[in-house]
Structure 1
């Protein structure tokens, strides 16, 4: 997507808008993965409910904590590519191909 971001920056996009673009896409992908994972984990705990002793099937604190931790990790992991994309020189990106 180097060429697309280079065109955006050549047309006047600010660094903050490039950050927002990359981070927003990362958040959407992370939320889709986390919601799918939550659905699968609830389905598995329903199947294994006889093996769970001392733990409720709908442990909201644990599910929410893990989801929050995964979202935070994905935001930290997407910060470096966002920073690299925002510091891209438009002329070099357009000349690359």
Structure 2
């Protein structure tokens, strides 16, 4: 978060209507990253849970 605020200050000159420490922008970006991280973990785990353990052991 600290690095994003620092980079935001540097880029604030290029952004129109968004301040350097715009809390909604930072919170939105954090939520998007958390959702992506959750899906990156959930989808493979869900797929693996559908495989029969005996079949996985025989083929592995």
Query: TM-score when scaled to structure 2?
Result: 0.61
Deviation at 1:93, TM superposition (A): 2.0
Aligned equivalent of 1:56: 19
* Structure 2: gaps spanning 5 or more residues: none
* CA RMSD across the alignment: 2.4
Q: 1:57 to 1:72 in 2, by over 3 A?
A: same
> 1:83 is matched with which residue: 46, 52, 55?
46
Deviation at 1:40, TM superposition (A): 3.1
* Structure 1: gaps spanning 5 or more residues: 1-37
Give distance in 2, aligned partners of 1:81 and 1:55: 37
Q: 1:93 to 1:71 in 2, by over 3 A?
A: same
Q: Return structure 1 stretches of 4+ with deviation > 4 angstroms.
A: none
Q: Could you say which structure has the greater relative contact order, defined with CA pairs below 8 angstroms and 6 or more residues apart?
A: 1
Give distance in 2, aligned partners of 1:96 and 1:59: 52
Aligned equivalent of 1:72: 35
